[in-house]
Structure 1
Amino acid sequence: MSLTEDLNQILETVLPTDPSFRRIERAVMDSCICETRRHALEGSIEAFLMSAMRLLALPDNGHTRLIPNDAIEVLPLRFVTVGRSVQLIGAAPEITAPRGELIAVNGADLSRIEAAAEQFLAGRHQRKRVIGPILLAWPYALARLGFASDSGTTEYRLRDENGQITNLKVANGHTVPGSALYPRNEHGKDDPTWQPEAFVEIKNWQDLGLSIALPSFFDPNETALLAGISAAGERVRACSNKPLLIDVRGNTGGDFLLTMPLIDAISESAIKQIVVLVDKFTFSAAIVFVAILKHRLGNRLTLIGEEMGDGLTFFAEGGLLDLPASKAVVRYSSAFHDWKNGTADETTPPEVARKIVAVGALNLDLEWVQGSAAEDAQGEFHQRVLKSMSNWINDR
C-alpha cells in the first residue's frame, strides 16, 4: 500500500460522505488535497499526515479528523490541557520529568505555537485544546510549525505549582510510539491507558445527596450500559428527595438513546437541586444527554465545570477509516445534529431527528475546574460540589 492509496481512501470515502465538507470552497479544498498528494508521492509519512490533518480540519468539525497517534513517534512526555493551561502530567518510565505548566518550547511562548497549530486541528477551540497537546511532543510537528531547535534536542520550560521554573531537554531521537502516551480518544487522565471501570457509578453520600458518574456512553454490546442506566433510574426515583449530581466529565459519547430511561427518571422525579458536571472532554452523545436534560429541567438544572468540547450544532455518526500505508486513522461524520435550533436535515438519522429539541444554549452556571485525580478517585470532588450546591443555588 502507498500513501497515495491512503489519500484516495480519504477522497473516495470521507469527503463525499461527510456533509460538513459541503460548505468548504472547492478551491480551498483542492489546494489542501494537492499539498497532501505531493507529500504522498514523496513518500514522506509525517508530512503527509500533517497535510491530511489540515485537509480534514477545514470544516471545523471536531468529529472529523485524522488521528496520527498510532502512526507517529513522540518524545516520551504526556501533555494535557488542564483548565486553561497545558500541563506536563506524565512521562515514560525512563524519563525523570517535573510536573507543571508548559510555558515555552524551544524558547517560543506556548501561545505562538498554539496559534500556528490551529489550522491542523479539527473542531472548535475546546476540541483543539483536547487533541492539540500531542503536537508539542511530536518533533516533526514542531519543525513543521516553525519551532524546531537546531541542537537535536527539544527544550521545554515548565512552571510548577510554587512558581519555580525548570528547563527540561529531551533528545529528539528519544521517542516512543504516540499511542503509548496519547490515547486515540483523549480523556485527560494522568494514565493514558485509563478505561472506565463501569458505565454508571452511583454513590449515596447520605445527607449530601446522590452522585451518578457516567464516564462513557459507548458500549458495543449495549447490555452493560443499559443495565447501569436502568439501575441509576431506579435509584433516582427512590432518592427523589436528595440533591442529585450527574458527572459527564470525560464522556466522549456513544449512544445517547440508551440513556433516555435515566433522563426520564430524572425529569419525572421531584428533585429540586440537580447539578451536571461537564468539561472540555465532554463530547457528542454526552452533550446531547445534557441538552435534553436542560430542555426538560430548565432552571432546575445547574451546569458546572468548563465549556464542553463541542457546541449544540455539530456533525456525528459516520465511522472510522484505517489508512494502511501510514497507519493513521481517520474519523469522519455522516449526519447533521442541531440541538440549538431543534432542526434536522436529510442526513440526520430518523431516530435522532425524533428526539431533537431546541435548547438554545448550554451556558455554564458556574465555572469550576475539576479537582486532582486523587480527589476524583476518592469521590472528594463530588462531595465538595454537593456541599456547595445548596448555598450556591440558594444565592442565585
Structure 2
Amino acid sequence: MSKRALIVLAAALLGAGFAFAALDARAQHVANTATVTIDTSADARVADVVAFRENFMAVDHAYSPAARAEAQRRLTALKNNAGAISQAYFELELSRIVALADNGHTAAFPWPRAARYNRIPLRLAAFGEDFYVVRTPTQNGDLLGARLTAIDGHDIAQLRTASRSLMGGVNGWRDRFANYLFESPEQLHALDLAADAASATYTFQTTNGQSIERRFDGDAVDAAHASANPGRFLYPQTIDGEGEWRALMPAASAPWSMQAPDERFRWRNAPEIDGIVLELRQNNDAANETIAQALTRFERAIADNRPRNLVLDMRMNSGGDLNTTRDFVQSLPARVPGRIFVLTSPWTFSAAISTTGYLKQTAPDRVTIVGEQVGDRLQFFAEGAPETLPNSHLMVLAARERHDYVTGCEGFTDCHGNVVRNPIRVPNLDVQIAAPWTIEAYAAGRDPGMEAIAAVLR
C-alpha cells in the first residue's frame, strides 16, 4: 500500500477528528489485510528515524522538555543499532518513544502495526486493571471469562507496565489497547516477554479459581479474524470471518447498549427511568447516516415522547469532531424537565470528552456523570495529520494544539481555535455515580450504568 493510501486510510479511520474505537469495519479490514512492502534493512530504518524526527518530533507539542530529551536519546540509540534489532523491536521502540509524550493523542497507531505480526486465537479485554478472555474458538471455550495472570512466566503487573509503555495518556486509555501486545508472541518476544516469537504459554485464573496454563501458536498475519478493533470485540455478535468462535456474553442476552454494533447512533424509550436513552458511539458521520441526521432523529424522538429524564450514553465513543454535537447537547437541558445522566468509560475520548464537557458546563447541577472515568485528562494536546514512515509504514500522529477544558484555554496562545471560540470550563468530569462494567456484570449480560441510574431515580 502506498504512503498516500495509508494516509487516506487513516483519515477514514479517524473521521473528522481522532476516533480510535469508531473504526469503520471495512477500513479496518483493509488495514489488516492489505499488502504492505516493509523494507527492514538498516538503511531503511535509519531513514525512518530521520523522517520520524523531521515529520513527527519536530511538530508535536505534547512532550515536556525532559521527555523530548529522553526521546531524542532513545532515537539516537535506535538509529545506531538499526542493523542489530528485529523489525518488531524497531516498531515497538518507536511506539514507546511516541508514548513518552504522555499524551493520548500523540500516538503510534497500534492496529496497522499489529496486523503485521502474529496473533493467538484468543481475544482479551480490560475490566478495571485486569484482562479477561471475552472471545475464543470453541475448543478453548473453557477459558471464557478467565483472567490473564502471566505469559511465559511474566506476571500481569510486568505485562501491564510493558503495554502501557506503548501508548500515551491515562492508564485507563492505555489499557484499551494492551491486547494488541498480549495476543502476539512475536511482539512479546521483541520486548523479552516471550521466549519464542512463534508461540507462548499463557496462564489464566478461571471464574472458579482454577489456574490453567495453555500454549498458543500465533496465527499468520493474514488471519481473517484480525479485522476488528478492540472495542468491537466487546460486542457479542459474530464478527465477519470469525468462524467457530464463542463470546463470553451471549448475544441473545446482551443488554441494549451491547446490541447492534454496526449502528453508531441509537435511541430508545426507557420507561424504567421515565425517560429516553441516546447512544452516540462516535462524533463523526457513519457509513449509512450523517451525525447531523442522527441528531435530528434524536430531537424528533425527544419532542414526540416528551421524556422526563434523559441518558446520553458515551461509553463507546472515542471521538471525532467536537463541533458536531456541541449545539445539540447544550440544548438538552431545555428539552427535558428532569435529570440528565451521561454514561462514560475509559473508551470516552477526545471529542466525546468535549461533548460531555459542553453538556456538564451548560447545566452543572442537573447533569450527573455515571460509570467510569473518561479516557483522558481535561488538559491535553491534539489536532494533527497522521504521518506514515516511509519504510516501516508505522503510522504516527503528532498533536499540535492545546485543549484545556478546565480554564477554557484562558491565558494560552496555542489552543485549538474551536475551543477558543467555544470554550469549555469545568472543574472536572469526575464520575459522580460509580458504575464500572465488571467482568461479572458483563458475563451476565447486565448494564451496571443503567442499573445505577434506575436505582437513583427510584
Identify the TM-score tier after normalising by the shorter chain.
0.7 to 0.9
The answer to whether the Cα contact below 8 Å between 1:244 and 1:271 also exists between their aligned partners in 2 is: no
Q: State the 1:32 CA deviation.
A: 1.5
Q: State the 1:144 CA deviation.
A: 4.1
Q: Pairwise mapping of residues 283-302 of structure 1 onto structure 2 (< 5 A)? A: 283-302=349-368
Q: State the 1:291 CA deviation.
A: 1.1
- Please list the CA deviations of residues 35-57 of structure 1 after superposition, one character each: whole Å capped at 9, or x if unmatched: 33235444731111111011101
Once the two structures are overlaid, the 10-residue window that deviates more, 275-284 or 37-46, is 37-46
Q: State the 1:91 CA deviation.
A: 3.4
- Picking from 407, 421, 430, the partner of 1:363 is 430
- Please list the CA deviations of residues 124-171 of structure 1 after superposition, one character each: whole Å capped at 9, or x if unmatched: 211211122221122244334433237974111212223233222113
Q: Pairwise mapping of residues 192-341 of structure 1 onto structure 2 (< 5 A)? A: 196-206=261-271, 208=273, 209-219=275-285, 224-341=290-407
Q: State the 1:20 CA deviation.
A: 0.6
The answer to whether the Cα contact below 8 Å between 2:330 and 2:362 also exists between their aligned partners in 1 is: no
Structure 2 distance, partners of 1:185, 1:108, is 23
Q: State the 1:321 CA deviation.
A: 2.1
Which residue of structure 1 aligns with residue 182 of structure 2? 136
Q: Pairwise mapping of residues 1-396 of structure 1 onto structure 2 (< 5 A)? A: 2-21=44-63, 23-42=65-84, 44-67=86-109, 68-91=113-136, 98-99=143-144, 100-149=146-195, 153-171=199-217, 174-177=219-222, 180-181=225-226, 183=228, 186=231, 189-190=234-235, 196-206=261-271, 208=273, 209-219=275-285, 224-343=290-409, 345-370=412-437, 371-372=441-442, 375=445, 384-391=451-458
Identity of aligned residues (%): 22
TM-score (norm 1): 0.86
Q: State the 1:229 CA deviation.
A: 1.2
The answer to whether the Cα contact below 8 Å between 1:80 and 1:89 also exists between their aligned partners in 2 is: yes
Q: State the 1:196 CA deviation.
A: 4.5
Q: Structure 1 residues 229, 152: closer, same or farther in 2, change over 3 A?
A: closer
Structure 2 distance, partners of 1:110, 1:86, is 9
Q: Structure 1 residues 57, 233: closer, same or farther in 2, change over 3 A?
A: same
> Match of 1:234, as an amino acid?
R
Q: State the 1:187 CA deviation.
A: 5.3
SS of the counterpart of 2:58?
helix
**May I ask how many residue pairs the two structures share in their alignment?**
387
> Match of 1:17, as an amino acid?
V
The answer to whether the Cα contact below 8 Å between 1:276 and 1:303 also exists between their aligned partners in 2 is: yes
Q: State the 1:282 CA deviation.
A: 0.9
Q: Structure 1 residues 286, 187: closer, same or farther in 2, change over 3 A?
A: farther
Structure 1 distance, partners of 2:457, 2:215, is 48
Q: Which runs of 5+ in 2 are unaligned?
A: 1-38, 241-259
Return the structure number with greater relative CO, CA threshold 8 A, min gap 6: 2
Alignment RMSD, CA only? 3.1
- Please list the CA deviations of residues 336-372 of structure 1 after superposition, one character each: whole Å capped at 9, or x if unmatched: 1010222164443322311122211111112212343
Q: Structure 1 residues 28, 381: closer, same or farther in 2, change over 3 A?
A: closer
Structure 1 distance, partners of 2:95, 2:347, is 20
- Please list the CA deviations of residues 57-86 of structure 1 after superposition, one character each: whole Å capped at 9, or x if unmatched: 111011112122233222232221123320
Structure 1 distance, partners of 2:195, 2:313, is 42
Structure 2 distance, partners of 1:187, 1:356, is 32
Structure 2 distance, partners of 1:117, 1:91, is 21
The answer to whether the Cα contact below 8 Å between 1:56 and 1:64 also exists between their aligned partners in 2 is: yes
> Match of 1:88, as an amino acid?
V
Q: Which runs of 5+ in 1 are unaligned?
A: 392-396
Structure 2 distance, partners of 1:32, 1:184, is 30
Q: State the 1:13 CA deviation.
A: 1.5
> Match of 1:321, as an amino acid?
E
Once the two structures are overlaid, the 10-residue window that deviates more, 208-217 or 328-337, is 328-337
> Match of 2:78, as an amino acid?
T
Q: Structure 1 residues 319, 97: closer, same or farther in 2, change over 3 A?
A: farther
> Match of 1:85, as an amino acid?
D
Q: State the 1:6 CA deviation.
A: 2.8
The answer to whether the Cα contact below 8 Å between 1:61 and 1:122 also exists between their aligned partners in 2 is: yes
- Please list the CA deviations of residues 77-123 of structure 1 after superposition, one character each: whole Å capped at 9, or x if unmatched: 22211233201212367866611111122223201222244333322
Structure 2 distance, partners of 1:176, 1:190, is 23
The answer to whether the Cα contact below 8 Å between 2:203 and 2:213 also exists between their aligned partners in 1 is: yes
Structure 1 distance, partners of 2:207, 2:119, is 26
> Match of 1:8, as an amino acid?
V
Q: Structure 1 residues 150, 199: closer, same or farther in 2, change over 3 A?
A: closer
> Match of 1:87, as an amino acid?
Y
The answer to whether the Cα contact below 8 Å between 1:234 and 1:265 also exists between their aligned partners in 2 is: no
Structure 2 distance, partners of 1:284, 1:21, is 18
